[in-house]
């Protein structure tokens, strides 16, 4: 029996999604060219396969019926990143946001800009 497709994004799938989020609707060839320009030279068939998988997982939508097929993100960066961070918190930190924050802040000191953003977020929270 075949294993059901994973809901999470692999590193390569996430790389493809970042290109779509920057570019918007694109063909597999356009995505491949963007990756190549950034120094990531993948075969066209690899990119096309990854796009098909992303479509099957619900991350991309095909917008036309004739070739070349054009795809666009079905989910925006905020939605996907929120979900991935939530998954990280559950899987790695057993639901503890506090432990995630501790690990983040142990890595390096906050810049003045990061501190200001964090303080603004904390001011918005209601007790």
Q: Between 3.40.50.620, 1.10.10.10, 1.20.1260.10, 3.10.450.50, what CATH number should domain 11-73 receive?
A: 1.10.10.10
Output the furthest CA–CA distance in the chain (Å, rounded).
54
Which residues lie closer than 8 Å to 87 by C-beta, 6 or more apart? 8
Residue 47 tokens, joined: 């990119």
Domains in the chain: boundaries: 11-73, 77-124
pLDDT band (50, 70, 90) for residue 1: low
Query: What's the chain's average pLDDT?
Result: 92
pLDDT in tens, 47-74: 999 999 999 999 999 999 999 999 999 9
| Euclidean distance between CA atoms 51 and 81, whole angstroms | 19
Q: How far is CA 117 from the centre of its chain?
A: 22
**pLDDT category, 125, cuts 50, 70, 90?**
low
Indicate the pTM of the whole model.
0.84
Cβ atoms of 36 and 81 within 8 Å: the answer is no
Res 3 pLDDT > 60 = no
């Amino acid at each position: 029996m075949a294993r059901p497709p994973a809901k999470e994004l692999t590193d390569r799938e996430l790389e493809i999604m970042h290109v779509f989020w920057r570019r918007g609707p694109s063909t597999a060839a356009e995505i491949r060219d963007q990756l190549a320009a950034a120094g990531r030279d993948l075969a066209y068939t690899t990119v096309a396969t990854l796009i098909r998988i992303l479509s099957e997982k619900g991350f991309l939508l095909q917008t036309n019926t004739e070739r070349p097929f054009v795809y666009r993100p079905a989910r925006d960066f905020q939605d996907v990143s929120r979900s991935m961070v939530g998954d990280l918190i559950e899987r790695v930190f057993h639901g503890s946001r506090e432990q995630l924050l501790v690990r983040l802040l142990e890595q390096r000191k906050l810049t003045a800009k990061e501190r200001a953003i964090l303080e603004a977020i904390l001011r918005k929270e209601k007790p």
